[in-house]
Amino acid sequence: MDFTLPEELRMLRDTVARFTREELLPLEKDVIRREAERGLTDAPLIDPEAEKALDKKAKEIGLYGIDVPEEYGGQNLGMLAKAVVAEELKTSITPWTLPPDSPNLFMLKETCKGDQIQKYFIPYANGEKKSAIAITEPGAGSDPAGMKTRAEYKNGKWVINGQKIFISNARKADFIIVMAVTDPAKGSRGGITAFLVDKGAKGMSIPTVLNTIGEHAPYGVFFDNVELSDDQVLGTVGNGFGPMQNRLGVRRMEIAARALGYARRCMDLMLPYAHERITFGKPLADRQAIQWWLADSFQEMEMVRLITWRLACKIDAGEANWRRDAAMVKLQGTEMITRVVDRAMQMFGGMGMTKDMPLEYMARACRVWRIYEGPSEVHRWFIARDLLRNGMPAN
C-alpha cells in the first residue's frame, strides 16, 4: 500500500494551506466577536462582504468545484481531495466551507434527472445556488426511518405536510431537499421520497432559529399543504432513503476531516507552548503528563486520518458498501477532537478558557459534531449490528 498523497493532491493541499493562512486566520478575531455578540439570532459569523471575497478568491486560485464533474465545469478530484481540503480549512476556526457543499452535491449528482440538471444541479455545482437538506424531525432525530412528514399525491400534485427541525442553512438556501414519507407501510424500504422545494414555496415557513452550542444555528422548517409537481421528485418515488444515507456518509467523512483540522491547530498551539511555559522551575515539555497528552493526541489523529482517507478512497473507487466505514470515521473523528481540544485547554490553563485564544470556541463548535449526522451511540450500535450480522470483514 502507498500511504503518500499523489503530487497533485500535495500541491492542492499547499494551495489550501496558504489560502487558510492568508485569508481565514485573519478573520478569526472577528468571528469570535460575532459569535459572542449574536445572542438569540442567526447573525452570520463572517461578514457577508468578507464571505463574498473568500468565494471570489477561492475561484481565482482554482479551488472551486474540486469534486464537481468535469462536464459541469468542475475538477472532478474526488473525495480524497475533499478530505484533504476540509482538514486544511479547519486548521482555522473561521466557519467557511469551500462551495459547493459536497454531501448535497453527491446526492444531487446521483439523483437529478431531466430538467432538474439545468435548474438545480448545474447552478448548485457552479456556486450560483445554495441548498439545504431537511431530514431531522422532532420525533425522528437519529432514526430517519421514523420520520412523519408526509407527501400525498392528490389531484396531480404532491402535497407535503409536516415539520423538520435542526435544518442547517434553511434560510440561506435557494432550494431544500425535503425527505418525506410517501408510503408509510414500506417506510425506509421503498416508502421515503426526496423532493426539491424552492425558496419561498407557498406553505413552507422557516420561523424558528434554534440557538445551539457554538457556531451552529439551525432552523425549524414547517410544511403546510406545500404543493409540488412531479418534476420536483428527486430521483424516483419511494427510493429516497438510499441516496440520503450515501449523502450522510459523505458528510460524516467531512466531519472527521474537520476534526483533524481542529486537532492539528491544537497541536500547533500545544507544542511550542510546552517549551515556553515554565512551572516550578521546569518547562511543561519535561512533565510526563504533558508528554502523554501530546503523544496520545498525535497517535489518535494519525489513526483517524488513515481511516478517513481509506473511506475517501473507497468512495472514489466506486465501492457500494461503505456505510460502516462512514460510521467509524464519524465516531472516531468527533471523539478524538473532543479529547484533543480538552487537553489543549487544560494545558493552557486559564488562558485556554479565554476568547483571546481559539480553544474555547473550538471546544463548543466541535461538541455538536458528536450529535448531528448521527450521535456516537447510534454509530456504535450500527457498527456492532453490522458485525453481528455479517462477521468480521476480510482484510
* Joined grid coordinates for residue 151: 407527501
DSSP string, 99-147: SSPHHHHHHHHHH--THHIIIIIHHHHTTSS-EEEE--BTTBSS-GGG-
Q: What's the pLDDT tens digit per position in 220-272?
A: 999 999 999 999 999 999 999 999 988 999 999 999 999 999 999 999 999 99
Kindly report the number of other CB atoms within 10 A of residue 66's CB atom.
21
Side chain identity at residue 205, one-letter code: S
* Joined grid coordinates for residue 341: 481540544
> Which one has a higher pLDDT value, 66 or 394?
66
Q: How confident is the model at residue 311 (pLDDT cuts 50, 70, 90)?
A: very high
For the ranges 144-148, 276-280, 355-359, 369-373, the lowest mean pLDDT is seen at 144-148
- Across the range 342-369, mean pLDDT stands at 97
* Joined grid coordinates for residue 354: 479565554
Q: What's the pLDDT tens digit per position in 153-199?
A: 999 999 999 999 999 999 999 999 999 999 999 988 899 999 999 99
DSSP code of residue 393: P
Q: What's the pLDDT tens digit per position in 360-372?
A: 999 999 999 999 8
Mean pLDDT score across all residues of the chain: 94
- Across the range 374-391, mean pLDDT stands at 94
Q: How many residues does the chain have?
A: 395
Q: How confident is the model at residue 145 (pLDDT cuts 50, 70, 90)?
A: confident
Which residue(s) pair with 233 in the sheet? 195
Q: How confident is the model at residue 382 (pLDDT cuts 50, 70, 90)?
A: very high
Pairing of strands 150-154, 157-167: antiparallel
pLDDT at 317 over 70: yes
Share of the chain above pLDDT 70, in %: 99
pLDDT at 104 over 70: yes
Please report the pLDDT score of residue 144 as a whole number: 73
* Joined grid coordinates for residue 8: 497533485
pLDDT at 124 over 80: yes
51: helix, strand or coil: helix
φ/ψ of residue 146, rounded to 5 = -95, 10
* Joined grid coordinates for residue 304: 483517524
18: helix, strand or coil: helix
The answer to whether 194 and 240 have CB atoms below 8 angstroms apart is yes
pLDDT at 73 over 90: no
- Across the range 342-364, mean pLDDT stands at 97
The answer to whether 179 and 209 have CB atoms below 8 angstroms apart is no
Going through the chain in order, the beta strands assigned E by DSSP cover 131-134, 150-154, 157-167, 175-181, 192-198, 204-209, 219-228, 233-234, 278-279, 282-283
The answer to whether 175 and 196 have CB atoms below 8 angstroms apart is yes
- Across the range 206-223, mean pLDDT stands at 94
CA nearest to 62, candidates 112, 18, 2: 18
Instruction: For residues 346 and 290, give the distance between their C-alpha atoms in angstroms, rounded to a whole number.
Output: 10
Q: How confident is the model at residue 1 (pLDDT cuts 50, 70, 90)?
A: low
Please report the pLDDT score of residue 194 as a whole number: 97
Share of the chain above pLDDT 90, in %: 86
CA nearest to 32, candidates 255, 363, 258: 363
Instruction: For residues 64 and 75, give the distance between their C-alpha atoms in angstroms, rounded to a whole number.
Output: 8
Please report the pLDDT score of residue 323 as a whole number: 93
Please report the pLDDT score of residue 102 as a whole number: 78
* Joined grid coordinates for residue 111: 439523483
Instruction: For residues 224 and 244, give the distance between their C-alpha atoms in angstroms, rounded to a whole number.
Output: 23
Instruction: For residues 19 and 29, give the distance between their C-alpha atoms in angstroms, rounded to a whole number.
Output: 17
DSSP string, 362-373: HHHHHHGGGTTT
